[in-house]
C-alpha cells in the first residue's frame, strides 16, 4: 500500500509508515455534525476507513480537536442510514484541488473501566466432602462357570 512504506529524506532507504492498520478504500456518503448541535448536518463522502478512524472529504473546513458525529449513509440521496452515528475527533485536514478538504477523523473511544478483581471465597470443606474413612466393597467373581446343580 502507498501509506505503509516511505523513503527516507536522503532517498537511500525505506522506512515504515506510522499507520497502525491499513485503510480500506470506500466511497460512502455520510453526514457530519457537531456533537452539540445535531440540526447542523453537513454532507461529506467517507473516502477510507480503518479500525481507528476514517477520512472524510467535504467542502467545509472543520476545526482540529473538535468532536463531531459521523453517520454513514446507504444511498447517495442521504435518506437511508447505514450505521449509527459515531463520535469522532478531527485530528487533521488537508485542502486539495477542486475546493474539497479531506478531514482525518479519529474514533473517540472512552477508556474502559477496570474493576478490581476480588479473590473468590469458597468453603473448602464443602468441596472436599465430609471427612469419612473410605468404605470397602467386596465383590464375588465366579471363575469358569463351574456351578454344580441345575
pLDDT single digits (tens) 118-150:
887 766 655 555 667 777 777 776 766 666 655
Distance, in Å, from the CA atom of 63 to the CA atom of 35, rounded to the nearest integer, reads: 13
Map the chain to HEC letters: CCCCEEECCCCCCEEECCCCCCCEEEEEEEEEEECCCCCCCEEEEEEEEECCEEEEEECCCCCCCCEEEEEEECCCCCCCECCCCEEEEEEEEEECHHHCEEEEEEECCCCCCCCCCCCCCCCHHHHHCCCCCCCCCCCCCCCCCCCCCC
Task: Give the position of cell 466432602.
Answer: 129
Highest mean pLDDT of the ranges 3-17, 66-80, 109-123, 136-150: 66-80
Cross-strand bridge partners of residue 94: 102
Q: The pTM is what?
A: 0.62
pLDDT single digits (tens) 96-113:
878 899 999 999 988 878
Confidence category of residue 23, pLDDT binned at 50, 70, 90: confident
In this prediction, residue 121 carries a pLDDT of 74
Q: CA nearest 54: which of 124, 103, 101? A: 103
Q: Return the CATH number of the domain spanning residue range 22-107.
A: 2.40.10.220
Joined together, the cell numbers standing for residue 106 give: 479519529
| 8 Å CB contact between 56 and 46 | yes
Distance, in Å, from the CA atom of 131 to the CA atom of 79, rounded to the nearest integer, reads: 72
With 0-12 CB in 10 A as exposed, 13-18 as middle and 19+ as buried, what is 85? middle
Q: Where are the domains of the chain?
A: 22-107
Amino acid at each position: 500500500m502507498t501509506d505503509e512504506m516511505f523513503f527516507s529524506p536522503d532517498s537511500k532507504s525505506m522506512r515504515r509508515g506510522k499507520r497502525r492498520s491499513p485503510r480500506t478504500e470506500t466511497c460512502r456518503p455520510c453526514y457530519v455534525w457537531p456533537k452539540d448541535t445535531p440540526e447542523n448536518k453537513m454532507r461529506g463522502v467517507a473516502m477510507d476507513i480503518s479500525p481507528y478512524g476514517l477520512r472524510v472529504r467535504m467542502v467545509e473546513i472543520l476545526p482540529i480537536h473538535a468532536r463531531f458525529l459521523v453517520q454513514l449513509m446507504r444511498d447517495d440521496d442521504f435518506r437511508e442510514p447505514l450505521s449509527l452515528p459515531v463520535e469522532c475527533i478531527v485530528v487533521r485536514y488537508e485542502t486539495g484541488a477542486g475546493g474539497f478538504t479531506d478531514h482525518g477523523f479519529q474514533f473517540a473511544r472512552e477508556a474502559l473501566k477496570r474493576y478490581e478483581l476480588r479473590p473468590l471465597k469458597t468453603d473448602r470443606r464443602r468441596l472436599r466432602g465430609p471427612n469419612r474413612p473410605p468404605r470397602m466393597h467386596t465383590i464375588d467373581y465366579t471363575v469358569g462357570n463351574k456351578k454344580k446343580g441345575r
